[in-house]
C-alpha cells in the first residue's frame, strides 16, 4: 500500500469515526432529555434548564459531526480519483503528511482547516461546501440558543403532563417549528438524512 493509499484509508476511516461521534451525541442528547423530564417532574427548573442546554448542545454537535463526515467523504472521493488517475500533485502529498494526527484528534476545527487545504488542490468540487462552512463556525461554541432550550423544556413538560409558566414570547415555538420545517427541505439536509440512514 502506497503512502497515498494509506492516507486515503485514513480519510475513509475518519468519515466513519465522525458518523460514530454523531450517533454518540444523539444518544447523549436523548439521555439529557430524559433528565430534563425527571427534573421538571421534581419541580427543579434550574436543573431542568441545565440539562436542556446540554441536550441542545449535543444535538448541534451531532449535526456538526455529520456535516464534517459528509465533507471528509467528499474529499476522500476526490483523492480516490486523483490516486486512480495518477494525478496526485506534490502539493497534495504535502497536505497529507499532517493528516493522520489531525483526523485522529476528531477536532472539527482542525479537520475543517485540513479539508480547506485539500479542497484548494482540486479545481472543481463534486460537493458544494459553502453551506457547510456557514455552520462550521460555531462548532466549538458552548452557548445554546435560549429559544431552543425553552422549547425543549416545554416539550418535556408536555410529555410529563405538566404546565410550565415560563416567559416564552408568543409565536416563538411555531416560528421555530416552521423554520425547522423549511430547513429540512434544503438539499443539504436531504443528503445528511440519506447519510444517516446508511450508517444506521
122 pLDDT above the threshold of 60: yes
Q: Quick one: which of 7, 2, 8 has its CA closest to 80?
A: 8
Q: Which residues contact 5 (CB under 8 A, 6 or more apart)?
A: 83
CA distances from 178 to 72, 80, 172, 181, 183 (A): 30, 40, 10, 5, 9
Instruction: Give percent of the chain with pLDDT exceeding 90.
Output: 27
- 149 versus 47: the higher-pLDDT residue is 47
Q: Which residue has the higher pLDDT, 63 or 126?
A: 63
The whole-number pLDDT of residue 4 equals 73
Q: What pTM does this model have? A: 0.60
How far apart are the C-alpha atoms of 43 and 48, rounded to whole Å?
9
Between 142 and 104, residue with greater pLDDT: 104
15 sits in which H/E element: helix 3-41
Q: Which of 22-26, 61-65, 72-76, 142-146 has the lowest mean pLDDT?
A: 142-146
Instruction: Compute the distance between CA of residue 18 and CA of residue 177 in angstroms, rounded to an integer.
Output: 28
pLDDT at 181: 45
Three cell numbers, residue 31? 439521555
pLDDT for residue 94: 66
- Name the nearest CA neighbour of 70 among 125, 145, 137: 125
- The angle formed by the CA atoms of residues 104, 119 and 79, to the nearest 5 degrees, is 70
134-168 confidence digits (pLDDT tens): 545 544 445 567 788 888 888 888 877 766 655 54
Please give the share of the chain, as a percent, with pLDDT higher than 70.
Answer: 62
Say if CB 103 and CB 10 are below 8 A apart: yes
| DSSP at 168 | -
What's the Cα-to-Cα distance from 79 to each of 15, 53, 76, 86, 198, rounded to whole Å?
Answer: 14, 39, 5, 10, 22
Amino acid at each position: 500500500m502506497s503512502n497515498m493509499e494509506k492516507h486515503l484509508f485514513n480519510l475513509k476511516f475518519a468519515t466513519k469515526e465522525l458518523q460514530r461521534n454523531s450517533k454518540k451525541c444523539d444518544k447523549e442528547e436523548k439521555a439529557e432529555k430524559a433528565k430534563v423530564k425527571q427534573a421538571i417532574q421534581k419541580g427543579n427548573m434550574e436543573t431542568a434548564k441545565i440539562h436542556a442546554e446540554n441536550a441542545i448542545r449535543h444535538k448541534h454537535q451531532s449535526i456538526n459531526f455529520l456535516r464534517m463526515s459528509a465533507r471528509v467523504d467528499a474529499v476522500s472521493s476526490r483523492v480516490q480519483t486523483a490516486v486512480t488517475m495518477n494525478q496526485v500533485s506534490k502539493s497534495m502529498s504535502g497536505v497529507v503528511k499532517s493528516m493522520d494526527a489531525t483526523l485522529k484528534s476528531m477536532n472539527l476545527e482542525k479537520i475543517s482547516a485540513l479539508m480547506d487545504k485539500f479542497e484548494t488542490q482540486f479545481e472543481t468540487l463534486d460537493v458544494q461546501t459553502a453551506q457547510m462552512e456557514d455552520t462550521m463556525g460555531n462548532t466549538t461554541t458552548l452557548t445554546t440558543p435560549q429559544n431552543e432550550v425553552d422549547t425543549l423544556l416545554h416539550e418535556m413538560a408536555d410529555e410529563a403532563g405538566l404546565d410550565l409558566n415560563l416567559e416564552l414570547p408568543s409565536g416563538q415555538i411555531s416560528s421555530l417549528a416552521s423554520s425547522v420545517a423549511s430547513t429540512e427541505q434544503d438539499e443539504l439536509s436531504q443528503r445528511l438524512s440519506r447519510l444517516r440512514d446508511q450508517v444506521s
